[in-house]
């Protein structure tokens, strides 16, 4: 399954829209349903509007499956084959849908590495309101 997720993420970066950074990223999100959803980064001339591949993949999953979507694993790939772990914003979004999800990404060593969502985002935020 890991190899399948990585392959899907690597296919997804071919769709990336990254004329400003030339950094092409793809992500593949595996849901509890067993289905895989992909996303790529989409940049904008107004830089801050850029969205990362990971969030696009997860948001596509929610759009397809609805609010009950739960994330089992997400793989992140980039065309440059350099180290690239999810940014802080994406870690928070990953944590929302899969606090125990596995994250597969290119780490400092060559090749892919795997870490838990809670390891990459210790004490991640979950909204709890007073009863």
Q: Which residues bind ligand THU (CB under 6 A)?
A: 18, 21, 23, 25, 41, 43, 50, 52-54, 76, 84, 86-87, 90
Using the minimum distance from each CB to ligand THU, give the nearer residue, 34 or 88. Answer: 88
Minimum distance between the CB of residue 42 and ligand THU, rounded to whole angstroms? 8
Beta strands in the chain (DSSP E): 25-31, 36-40, 71-78, 102-106, 112-116
CA distances from 11 to 7, 16, 60, 74, 90 (A): 6, 10, 16, 14, 20
Of 10, 14, 54, 65, catalytic: 54
54 part of the active site: yes
Residues 6 or more apart in contact with residue 63 via CB below 8 angstroms? none
Contact 116, 100 (CB under 8 A): yes
Task: Cite the active site residues.
Answer: 54
């Amino acid at each position: 399954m890991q190899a399948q997720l990585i392959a899907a993420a690597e296919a997804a970066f071919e769709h990336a829209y990254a004329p400003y950074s030339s950094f092409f990223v793809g992500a593949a999100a595996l849901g509890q349903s067993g289905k895989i959803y992909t996303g790529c980064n989409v940049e904008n001339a107004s830089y801050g509007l850029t969205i990362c591949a990971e969030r696009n993949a997860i948001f596509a999953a929610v759009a397809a499956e609805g609010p009950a979507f739960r994330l089992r694993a997400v793989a992140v790939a980039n065309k440059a084959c350099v180290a690239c772990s999810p940014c802080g914003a994406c870690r928070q979004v990953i944590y929302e849908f899969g606090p125990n999800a596995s994250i597969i990404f290119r780490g400092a060593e060559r090749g892919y590495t795997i870490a838990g969502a809670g390891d990459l985002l210790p004490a991640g935020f979950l909204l709890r309101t007073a009863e």
